[in-house]
Amino acid sequence: MRLKVLLLSVFMFGLWGSQPAFGRIKLITLPVRQRVEIQLDHPDATLVEEERIVPLVEGINQVDFSRANTQIDPHTIVFRVLVRDDDQEPDAGKPSGGKPSGGKQPDVRVLSVSYPPNEAALV
């Protein structure tokens, strides 16, 4: 009888202490580079610039950017909003020159940017 009470209390504690799971987390692989530029001007450092178009869905998107064994200056990552033409395929991957179609400015806001200490990552 004591074993049943003990097992029931452990089960109830497990239900009480559990956290809800967050669903609908979508992961995508890093898209192909649109542009790459490498500068070897400084003997101690190499500057690599690359441009990628990352598709976002409507709503709140969390974008994590990291690179293994690389120092990333947090001030060098730039976000630009590009709007595709209405007649363009959704997965064509080419911007429409950065001009909003139909004269409407897209409603895009960066809510937060964090640079974890001692990591080569930007969230």
Q: How many helices (H) and strands (E) does the chain have?
A: 1, 4
From CA 109, how far away is CA 79, in angstroms rounded?
10
Is residue 21 predicted with pLDDT exceeding 80?
Answer: no
Q: Give the alpha-carbon dihedral of 8, 9, 13, 15, to 10 degrees.
A: 20
Work out the percent of the chain whose per-residue pLDDT is above 70.
Answer: 58
In 10 A of CB 101, how many CB atoms?
A: 13
Q: Among 53, 10, 9, 7, which Cα is nearest to 30's?
A: 53
Do 35 and 53 touch, CB atoms closer than 8 A?
no
pLDDT at 90: 47
Mean pLDDT, range 19-43, rounded to an integer: 76
From CA 114, how far away is CA 112, in angstroms rounded?
7
Confidence of residue 14 (pLDDT cuts 50, 70, 90): low
Lowest mean pLDDT among 3-17, 33-47, 95-109: 95-109
* Of 17 and 35, more confident: 35
Q: What are the residue ranges spanned by the domains of the chain?
A: 55-123
Q: Which amino acid is at 35?
A: R
pLDDT at 79: 73
* Of 20 and 66, more confident: 66
